[in-house]
Chain A
Amino acid sequence: MILDKTAARKLTDRVCKLATAKDVVVGLAGGRTANTRFANNEITSCGDVSNVRVSVAVAFGQKRGSTATNQLDDASLRAAVAEAEEMARLSPDDPEHMPPLPPQKIAEVKARDPKMAAGAAFDAAANQKGVEACLGPSLEKKLVAAGFFESADRFQAVANSAGAFAYHAATAASFSTTVRTADGTGSGWAEATSWKLGDVDAPAVARRAVEKSERSVQPRRLDPGRYTVVLEPEAVAGLVGMVRFGLRAREADEGRSYLSKPGGGNRVGEKLFSDKVTILSDPGDARIPGQPFDGEGLALKPTTWIEKGVVKELIYGRYWAQKQGREPTGAPANIIMLGGSATLQDMIKSTDKGILVTRFWYIRSVDPRTLLVTGITRDGTFWIEKGEVTHPVNNFRFNDSPASLFANAEALSAPVRTSSGLAVPAVKAHSFNMASISVAV
């Protein structure tokens, strides 16, 4: 269920008035999502779900408590507020509690597609027709398609007892498909995602996955080792996502992060990556608009975290920022890795010997001291020789650090929006550690 700005304000006012505590923060999150799932060339399940969640955080001095409910009747809201207040009264002081923020100047972000707001992508018959059209190429070529189409129309709001109020509405649409050959020796994946339904060209996504699937059949054996890699944006996104976790200031200052400095403090100001690497956040970015405020209602501003390989800024929550005498940044609204002028084709052309990676799977941290992570290549891994993609190769388990990858980066493309909600480029880098063979397809 979508609440517009006026209805959201009315609801947050209702909840604030129920509280006796001086400090009250009310959060709303809700909307409608619909999905159609398919596998083995047929639709298998679907969903159409509405929900609104109200969260309440209260404090008496430094004593605080919080609750949440998705029932909006008076009795349920009153009970939620009463429970939060009871917990706060029973709680010991929390020295990290921060009082509610004063009203913030929050830039409005355009992130709601009028067509989706009007109900497009929530029509079951239209969605079935769209999915069926994407199954066509697989059925014709006797390939096996699985995939997922999802649409969402959501809103978030935060209000507090100091008079602050923030509201944001956003739509999202995504279509992904994995196409496998009937003999199970080939697999290709592709996806498109945007806040605008019109940007999601599902038939084009299906064609890309079919092409990758057919090209990846009968991979040849390639030994583990260090290779030059050309990583498509989806593969890069998985690794950039791990860097994001390492940007928290408190962990760095406390000596338990990749960005902790031996002897104390953090590594802001140090050049840790190739000068090709710049990572920033900007809720107003048109490719990947983000919610312009955090869960406390703090305005999120454009922030450059890494600039030309130098760590420029870390993530500061309000408590840690105050303790360190700084302005809080809040958590990133989105992550954008700036790119270069190369195209994916340029990167392949400039590679004498290397591996083209479509995407990674099951990426997990191995050593937070070095940002070492492990994961698996999947759904299209190819050998490059003398500037051309020559044949498919087996998948690999890699063990490497995004820090090393970015230190070894040689070329970047323009960034694109990926499935994980990051905008990142394709990256060519040398010496990437493919640790062992995965025979999985």
Chain B
Amino acid sequence: MMKLIKLELRRNNLKPYLWGSLGIFIFTVAMGVFFSALPLIDPNDPSAKMMSDFTMSSSPVSIIVMSSYAILGTVMHSKFIVEEYTGRKNVLLFTYPQKRSQILLAKYTLTFVFTIAALILSNVVALLLVNLIGNVTGLITKPINIDSVANALLLSMILGFIANLISTIALRVGFLKKSIIWTLVTAIILVSLFGNSVTLSSNFVLPIFFAVGTVLMVICLILFIGLLKKVNKMECL
């Protein structure tokens, strides 16, 4: 399996996705600084305080980061899986004497690991940077502690997982319709639905995250097993 993942790394150009992650990181820092300035406008508004803390799952920054990585993961799935299996390149993939399901799993794992790792790194570094900028400019008075970093780490893992679940559903729809546009549109609809449901129910965010996450995980598992079977039986017409 590791060998197949290494081969995927060799034959796919990851540079555009690294640039994409860098873009999301810069955006995260900018949003973090912007939202940390909100309590200065109205110090008595509790929602401004909540928004300024982007280690909280309901903060707009968290939702935007999760949505961005869900879209990034979907673009990677579109390029590595939908395009390759539904285009002319499938003849090449299907003539390797390797289990088709393992090649697919290697492609999926690459995107899964990349998305989670990039999200965690970007979020934690952004948290540190926003705090540094906040302290220097006086926007943030409370110093960062180990709990905030641990929270950011945990939240990033959960967000990364949910981003991957969303992109997996989008992948399956795109594969079914043999269309990259369908893949991306599905991801955009799902992140909009998820983002809205989380921000509308900010009082119950953690239970909602777990409930939605569990439902999504079951759906994804069923869809992914279906995808493995489909690829195994695919013909090159």
Do chains A and B interact in one complex? no
